[in-house]
Structure 1
Amino acid sequence: MSLKIKHTLTLLILFIGFSASSQVSSVPFTLMESGHIIIKAKVDGVEGKFIFDTGAGLNLFFDKFAKRLKAQQTNNYFTAHRATGESLTVPLYHSESLAIGTLNFSNQLYTTYNIDAGDIDGLISLQPFQNTPVTIDFESKIISFNNKPEVGKSKFIDIQIADYAGKSLDIFTNVKLNDQVTIQVLLDSGAGKSSFWFNSRLMDMLKLDKNSFEVLKKKDEFDATKTRLFYTGKINTLRTENNSASIDNPKSIFVENLIYEGKTGIDWLGKKITISLPDKKIFLID
C-alpha cells in the first residue's frame, strides 16, 4: 500500500471518529406541570422514564426499576446531603451502558433509593455529560447533545463545577439579589419551575422584614425531633452576575440552615439553553 493511500485512509478514519464523537443527537422530553423534565433512557438495555436533574449529583434509580438491572455493585459508598442538610449514605453501582437517543455512555456510576414515584424510574444527573454539551429547548421540548454555540457569539453565564471525587457532580453560578448581595447558587433542574431557595441568613443582609414573609415551621423528614423555618415572600430582582439573565419579583423561600447560599431551578435562565461542562458555561440561546 502506498504512503499516499495510507495517509488518505488515516485521514478518513480520523474524520469518521471525529464525526461520531461530535454527532448531534436529540430526544423529545415531557415537561410536567411542576416543571420537571422527563426523558426516556435505557440502562443496560432496560428502558425507563427519568427526571433530568442537574442537582441530583449522580444517577439514581428507584428500587423497583433497579431490581430489573444486572447490578454491578462496587465496594464504595457515598454520603450525599439534601439541600436542607440531611445526610444519606448510599451504595454505588456501575451500569454497563446508559443509552439516551443515539448516545451511549459506558460504565456509569449510579445509586438506588426505595421510593415509589409512579411511572418515574429515577433521576439522570449531569455526570454522563462531562464531555457532552446538553441543549434544553423548553418550547420545542427537545434535548439535544453535542450542539454547542460558539463561544463569544452567544450570551452565557459562567458556572462552577463541584466534582466530589468523581462520585457526584453539581453546577453553581453567581447571582445578585436585589442588586445588593452576590451569592453562589446551585442550579437544580430537579427543583421544578419557579423554584428560588435562599439561605435565611441573607435576609438580614438584604434588610428584609421577616414579618412581611409567610413563615412555615416544618419537621425534619429524617429526624422528627428537629424543625426548621421557611420564610416565603418576594424579592425585587434576581440577576446573573453578568446580567445575561434576570427575573423580577420572584417568589422566594428563605430556608433556615440551607447548606447552600442559594438554590434555583434553571427555567428562569431562558427558553433555550446549553449546559457545557467542558466550557464551564451555560449558553443562553433564547
Structure 2
Amino acid sequence: MKRSIFTTSIFLIFLVFSLKTNAQIPFELNNNGHIIIKAEINGVEGKFILDTGAGLNAIFTKFSNKIKNEKTNNFFVGHRATGEELNVDLYNAKSMEINNRGFSDQQYTIVDLEFGDIDGMISLQPFRNTPITIDYNNKKILFGRTTKGEKSIDIQIADYAGKAIDIFTYVELNDHLKIQTLLDSGAGKNSFWFSSKLMEPLKLNKADFKAVPIKSDFKKENNYYIGKLSTINTTNKLRKVENLDAAFIVGLIYEGKTSIDWLGHILTIDIAKKKIFIAD
C-alpha cells in the first residue's frame, strides 16, 4: 500500500521533532570537572559552563560586547555561596539556542569576570520544563530522555520569583547528621563544602583541619577548614562517598554545597518531578 503524501509529511515532522528532542549534545569536561557546552545567545555562539548552582544565566563582559544587549528595568539581588551580595541587572535574551534547540523567554545578567575562553554560565533556567540528562560516560547532554524504571533522589527547588532557580537535596554526613545541600555542577568535580557550623554537631576538632583564608573572585575572604570527612550519603542510601576531602567554611550561606558528579555517571535533572534520576 502506498503511503499518502500527508502521512509521509506527518511522519517526517515527527521524526525531525524526535531527533531534535533527543539530540545528543557533546560537552567538554575540563580539568576542574566543569561541563562546557556551546550555546548561542542573540545569534552569537559561545562556550558556557553548565552550572546548576548559578541560579540565573550569566555572560561575561567580553562576550557581552559581541552581542546586542536588551536591558530590562528589572534586577536581581542574591548572594554567592560565601556570602557576597550580588545586585545585578537583567537582560532579555532575544534568542537562546543549545544545539539548534531554542529556549524562549530567557534572561541573563552580565558579570565582569574573565575565566579563560569561557563566555559565561547557563543555569537551570532554560530547563524548568525540560528534563536534562548529563551523561558523564559519553560526555553528552540529552533532552527528553526516558527515565522509566530508574532510581532517583528527591530534590527541593528554590525558585526566586522566576528570576533564578537552584536545586537542593538532603544528605547524611558521617551516617547520622542530616543536612540540605545545594547541588552545584559549576563547582566542578569532587567538591564538598559545608558550613563551619556543622563541625560541632559532627564532633570535629578544628585543630585536625588546615585553616586557610581564601579570597573569592569578588575579593571577599572566608576561612576554610580543610580536611577529611568520613562519609556523605544520599538519604535513601543510593549513593555514598567515603573518606572525602571536605572544606568547612565560615560564612557559607548553605548547610552544604556539593558538586553533582558523586551522585552518578548518568544523571537526569527533572525539575517538574522534583527528582534526579540516576541511570549509572
Regarding TM over 0.5, the answer is yes
Q: Is the 8 A contact 2:192 2:257 kept in 1?
A: yes
Q: How many residues align?
A: 272
Q: Go from structure 1 to structure 2 and tell me whether the alpha carbon gap of 1:68 and 1:223 turns closer, same or farther (over 3 Å shift).
A: closer
* Whole-angstrom distance in 2 between the partners of 1:66 and 1:222: 19
Residue 204 (str. 1) matches residue 200 (str. 2): yes
Residue 266 (str. 1) matches residue 230 (str. 2): no
Q: Is the 8 A contact 2:20 2:101 kept in 1?
A: no
Q: Go from structure 1 to structure 2 and tell me whether the alpha carbon gap of 1:100 and 1:80 turns closer, same or farther (over 3 Å shift).
A: same
* Equivalent runs, 1:47-86 vs 2, <5 Å: 47-86=45-84
Shift of 1:20: 5.8
* Equivalent runs, 1:1-286 vs 2, <5 Å: 16=14, 23-150=21-148, 153-218=149-214, 222=218, 227-286=221-280
* TM-superposition CA deviations, 1:57-80 (whole Å, max 9, x none): 000000111122221111011112
Shift of 1:22: 8.4
Q: Is the 8 A contact 1:22 1:146 kept in 2?
A: no
Shift of 1:166: 0.6
Q: Go from structure 1 to structure 2 and tell me whether the alpha carbon gap of 1:92 and 1:21 turns closer, same or farther (over 3 Å shift).
A: farther
Q: Is the 8 A contact 1:235 1:251 kept in 2?
A: yes
* Whole-angstrom distance in 2 between the partners of 1:96 and 1:107: 8
* TM-superposition CA deviations, 1:5-36 (whole Å, max 9, x none): xxx99xx69x959x569821221000001000
The DSSP-based 3-state class of the residue aligned with 1:171 is strand
Percent identity between the two aligned chains: 52
Shift of 1:37: 0.4
- Tell me how large the CA RMSD over aligned residues is: 2.2
- Residue identity opposite 1:206 in structure 2: L
Shift of 1:102: 3.2
Counterpart in the other structure of 1:5: none
The DSSP-based 3-state class of the residue aligned with 2:63 is helix
Q: Is the 8 A contact 1:43 1:97 kept in 2?
A: yes
- Residue identity opposite 2:226 in structure 1: T
* Whole-angstrom distance in 1 between the partners of 2:18 and 2:37: 22
Counterpart in the other structure of 2:3: none
Normalising by structure 1, report the TM-score.
0.90
The DSSP-based 3-state class of the residue aligned with 2:203 is coil
Q: Is the 8 A contact 2:168 2:181 kept in 1?
A: yes
Q: Go from structure 1 to structure 2 and tell me whether the alpha carbon gap of 1:218 and 1:117 turns closer, same or farther (over 3 Å shift).
A: closer
Instruction: Note the residue ranges of structure 1 that are not aligned, 5 or more in a row.
Output: 1-7
Instruction: Note the residue ranges of structure 2 that are not aligned, 5 or more in a row.
Output: 1-5
- Residue identity opposite 2:69 in structure 1: A
* Whole-angstrom distance in 1 between the partners of 2:267 and 2:219: 38
Q: Go from structure 1 to structure 2 and tell me whether the alpha carbon gap of 1:213 and 1:75 turns closer, same or farther (over 3 Å shift).
A: same
Shift of 1:146: 1.0
Q: Is the 8 A contact 1:25 1:103 kept in 2?
A: no
* Whole-angstrom distance in 2 between the partners of 1:205 and 1:266: 25
Q: Go from structure 1 to structure 2 and tell me whether the alpha carbon gap of 1:228 and 1:119 turns closer, same or farther (over 3 Å shift).
A: closer
- Identify the range of structure 1 (22-31 vs 75-84) with the bigger mean alpha-carbon deviation: 22-31
- Residue identity opposite 1:173 in structure 2: T
Normalising by structure 2, report the TM-score.
0.92
Shift of 1:223: 6.2
The DSSP-based 3-state class of the residue aligned with 1:64 is helix
